[in-house]
Every structure is written in structure tokens, then in C-alpha cells.
Chain A
């Protein structure tokens, strides 16, 4: 389409104005992190007595990574069954599961805390990972089912004629065709789990197990000096770096995952 000069100027104007608003907090955080105390603040945060940056990043990686792997596995198994198999109660079970997509974690913190404590997983990684999986897997199940629906039955029938078992078809026919879909599901679950704040705050109490979202509290005090605020900003920037790296490497899958998760609601 032909674009006139004024139209172009208006479009760029809108984008530049909005970008300035969006970049403002980032610019402030970067500026403030060195405004009192200089670059030394980063060293202070990395050698902090109560806040261990590498532990926090490691904890986040452990919990988000495990969640993503389990979600990829069980959502693909479930998506395969719901898409390609016929069994009694299929639609009832599928709809009952998807109805939970509308259930916010915040509404269920009390029973979640109680259940996790009862099975003895309070203040453990597993105790956070289990609800992370539970609340992340449903949208991924929907994505994987829609993905499997788009794979023609003929391919699966051909494999069955060749004598492939149900699991063999999953492993050798379906999964090789599911690379991008699995990547979308994995990246999306990883990012959502990495960003989760409520579940770890509810279930963890030992600071050495805190993921980054929760570890922020270790850098905040009741009355903070300008220097401590600068150090907090430095810590926040350091804690955003892993997210930025993950984003740069997985942008394509993150975008595709969001788009495919929003197709059928």
C-alpha cells in the first residue's frame, strides 16, 4: 500500500512517543543503579550478605526448567490422547480440565498451602513445582491438542498399518512433527513459571530456596538509604538479565506460543 508522508510521520510519531513511555522505567532503573555509589553497587549486590544472586537465579532456573520439561511431556501425551484417540468421557474430561483455565491461583492459595503442607512438601522445590505445573499445563494441553488436531489422521493410520504401537506413534511419528509446538509450550511455561511470585511466596520460607521474584524482598528494608535504593535497582537489573537472555533466544517461540494459546481461548 502507498503511504503518504504525513501518514508516515503520524505513525512514527505514535510509535516513538509510546516507546519513550515504555523505555522510561528501564532507563530510570539503569541510571539510578549507579547514581549513588556508581558501578560498585553491582559488586555489592553480587557479594551481598543475605541475598545470593546466583542462588536465586539457579532456583528460578531449576523450578521453571523442571516445570517446562514436565509440562512439555504431559501436555503432549494428553494432547495426543484427546486429539487422536476415542474413549468414553473424552469431551467431558477435556472440558472439565479446560474450565480450570478460568480458575485464578489467587482464589485457591488456602487449600494449596494446606495440601502441600499435608504431603510434607512445604518449603521444598517440589512443593512449588507441582502447583506451577498444575496451573500452567492446561493452556499447554489446549495448544498441544489443537496442534495434534492439525496433523492428518492418514499419517497415523499409515504408521498403524506398519504395525506401530500407540506409544511408538507418539514417539516416532507425532513428536518429530511437533518440534515448534513443543518449543512454544516449553518456552511459554518456562517464562510464566520464572515470573511467578505468588506460589513461591506462599510455599517457601528458606531464603536460600527463593527464586528471583521472591528474592527481591531480601534487598528491601523498612527505611532505605539512597545508596541502598541504588543497590536495589542494581539487583533488579541483574535479576532481569536472565529473562532478557531467555527472551532473545526464544522470542520467536514465545510469540508463536502466545498466538497459538489465544486462537481458541
Chain B
């Protein structure tokens, strides 16, 4: 039989997805690359300035803060979400009574909008009248009149990390859970015959078998970190000062300040970081 669809029809089938998605995204990347070499204000003025935006970027303190925050966020959220997710998945696989209820509790935030969760937690974490400090005072963990600046200069990034873990831990849990289901029982039976205990089985059977799943979660974590915007913008807005800016919010702020050329250079830097991190991850995953 000749190939299905002949020579030309297949292109008709991929045309919608290729134009809506491929064309729009690649055009946007090309446009960003060009605009990053200009002093575009987002409206009219658009003069070629060479690499000036990139020189400014590399000496911009905010850029390095945003990059450090993004990477710190990436590493901590991926590790914590993977560990907690695996822990809950492994426990739930034991089929304890009520494990479906627990799974639903942890999975639920995925269906809720990050914008709503972030707004709730912004008010919960507010230093003076927020419920979190109030609750800690009730539990006696915080003295009268003491406040913890959850969204301040020092803790802000950690609070944003916590919000992300709250939102996405259930994702890792669910992905690990379906990964666990595909590990053949024989592996566990063989390990038990060899006298391996629960922990031994976890480290010698479960975790190695889930390596593919873990790699996928790392890749998704890289992309997720670089597109993190709403939970930062709606809680700290990048502040106080510029202490909690992420690459995404830094770009948005530059754009809002009518520095579209500069924002484009930030955009390109985000793409470069995304590409570099993905390559590193793929290389590391291959080597094992």
C-alpha cells in the first residue's frame, strides 16, 4: 500500500498545529532576538544598538538576583517536590485505608489557579495582620508583638518556593504513583527473597526503577521555574526592592517600563538558560 494520505495531505493535518503554535512561537523568538539588538520602546522608536542591551544586562544587579532566585527556586522546588511526592506515592501504594483522601488533598491544588492560591497566601503571610504569624502566636511559637516578614527581603524567596511546593507537590506525587504502578511485582518479590527490608527495597528497587520519571520531573521543573510569574508577581511583585525578582517578573517589569528592547534581551537570556539547563539535564540523564 502507498503511504497513508499520499504526499500532500499529511501537511494539511499538521497545518493547524504548525501555524498556530510553531509559527507563532518561532516568529516570537526571532522577533525577540531582533528586538534585543534595538532600543525599542514597545511603540515606535526602534534603532539598532548592537549588543548594548546585553552589556547592560550583564552588569545589571537585578539580572543576577533574578537569575539566582530562579535557579534557587528550581533546585529547591524540584528536590523537595520529588522527595515529598515520592514519599506520599510510596505510602499511598501501601493501600492504607483513606489513602485516596490524602491523595485528593495533595492533588487538589493543581486544579486551583496559582493566581488565587498566591493571593490567599499573600494575605495569610502578611506580617502584621496575616494569619500565619497569628497562628504561630497562638501555638506559642512566636512571642507577642513579634513578627516574621514572610514576604520580606530574606524569607520572600523561600515563601514563594513554599507556595510552589504547595501547588505542585501533588503533580510529582501523581506522576510517581503511576510510575510505581508500572514496576513489576517480581522485582519486589525477588528483593524480599534476598532479605531486603522496606528501606532497602525503596533505595534498590523503587528509586532506580523510577529514574525515567525523575528525569521527566526535572525537565518539567526547569521549564516550570523559568515560566514562574504569577506566584511572584501577586505576592511580592519582585520586592522588597528587587530582592525576589525572577527572570520572568524582571522581564515583565522592564517591558512595563517601556524598555521593550531590554526586555527582549532578558527574554533571550531566559531562552538561553532554558536551553542550557535542558542540555545539561539530558547529558546527565544519558550518562547514568
CB contacts (< 8 Å) of A80 on chain B: these are 13
Give the docked Cα–Cα distance between A176 and B187 (Å). Answer: 36
CB contacts (< 8 Å) of A263 on chain B: these are 216
Give the docked Cα–Cα distance between A254 and B264 (Å). Answer: 35
Q: Is B111 part of the binding interface, using a Cβ–Cβ cutoff of 8 Å?
A: yes
Q: Is B213 part of the binding interface, using a Cβ–Cβ cutoff of 8 Å?
A: yes
Interface locus among B52-60, B113-121, B152-160: B113-121
B117 lies within 8 A of A25 (CB): yes
A195 lies within 8 A of B115 (CB): yes
Give the docked Cα–Cα distance between A154 and B123 (Å). Answer: 59
Residues of A within 8 Å of B, CB-based: how many? 94
B91 lies within 8 A of A15 (CB): yes
Q: Is the interface of B mostly helix, strand, loop or mixed?
A: helix
A258 lies within 8 A of B230 (CB): no
- Identity of the chain A residue whose Cβ is nearest the Cβ of B6 in the assembled complex: A166
Q: 1/0 contact trace for A74-117 toward B, CB 8 Å?
A: 11011011101111101001001100111111111111111100
A11 lies within 8 A of B94 (CB): yes
Q: Is A130 part of the binding interface, using a Cβ–Cβ cutoff of 8 Å?
A: yes
B275 lies within 8 A of A102 (CB): yes
- Identity of the chain A residue whose Cβ is nearest the Cβ of B250 in the assembled complex: A106
A78 lies within 8 A of B16 (CB): yes
A111 lies within 8 A of B32 (CB): yes
Q: 1/0 contact trace for A200-244 toward B, CB 8 Å?
A: 000000000000111010001000001001001100100110011
Once A25-B166, A107-B270, A114-B31 are accepted as A-B contacts, the answer to whether A77 and B13 lie under 8 Å apart by CB is yes
Give the docked Cα–Cα distance between A86 and B32 (Å). Answer: 34
* Most chain B beta carbons < 10 A, residue from A97, A104, A160: A104
CB contacts (< 8 Å) of B188 on chain A: these are 1
Q: Is B82 part of the binding interface, using a Cβ–Cβ cutoff of 8 Å?
A: no
- Identity of the chain B residue whose Cβ is nearest the Cβ of A166 in the assembled complex: B5
- Identity of the chain B residue whose Cβ is nearest the Cβ of A136 in the assembled complex: B21
B251 lies within 8 A of A229 (CB): no
CB contacts (< 8 Å) of A137 on chain B: these are 17, 20-21
Give the docked Cα–Cα distance between A237 and B29 (Å). Answer: 38
CB contacts (< 8 Å) of B178 on chain A: these are 255, 259
Q: Is A143 part of the binding interface, using a Cβ–Cβ cutoff of 8 Å?
A: no
Q: Is B27 part of the binding interface, using a Cβ–Cβ cutoff of 8 Å?
A: yes
Once A80-B13, A134-B21, A138-B21 are accepted as A-B contacts, the answer to whether A28 and B216 lie under 8 Å apart by CB is no
Q: Is B175 part of the binding interface, using a Cβ–Cβ cutoff of 8 Å?
A: yes
Q: Is A29 part of the binding interface, using a Cβ–Cβ cutoff of 8 Å?
A: yes
Which residues of B83-107 have CB atoms within 8 Å of chain A's CB atoms? 84, 87-88, 91, 94, 96, 99, 102, 104-107
CB contacts (< 8 Å) of A108 on chain B: these are 25, 28-29, 32, 267
Q: Is B198 part of the binding interface, using a Cβ–Cβ cutoff of 8 Å?
A: yes
Q: 1/0 contact trace for B10-33 toward A, CB 8 Å?
A: 110110111011101111110110
Once A3-B94, A18-B106, A97-B22 are accepted as A-B contacts, the answer to whether A191 and B111 lie under 8 Å apart by CB is yes
Give the docked Cα–Cα distance between A104 and B28 (Å). Answer: 12
Q: Is B138 part of the binding interface, using a Cβ–Cβ cutoff of 8 Å?
A: no
- Identity of the chain A residue whose Cβ is nearest the Cβ of B36 in the assembled complex: A110
Q: Is B74 part of the binding interface, using a Cβ–Cβ cutoff of 8 Å?
A: no
A75 lies within 8 A of B248 (CB): no
What is A's interface to B at a CB cutoff of 8 Å?
A: 1, 3, 7-8, 11-12, 14-15, 18-19, 21-25, 28-29, 32, 73-75, 77-78, 80-82, 84-88, 90, 93, 96-97, 100-115, 130-131, 133-135, 137-138, 141, 156-157, 160, 166, 169, 191, 194-195, 197-198, 212-214, 216, 220, 226, 229, 232-233, 236, 239-240, 243-244, 246-247, 251, 254-255, 258-259, 262-265
Beyond A104-B227, A111-B31, A233-B123, list 20 extra A-B contacts (CB 8 Å).
A14-B87, A25-B124, A85-B4, A93-B18, A102-B223, A104-B270, A104-B274, A106-B229, A107-B247, A110-B35, A110-B255, A131-B24, A137-B21, A156-B4, A216-B116, A220-B119, A240-B116, A243-B113, A247-B111, A263-B216
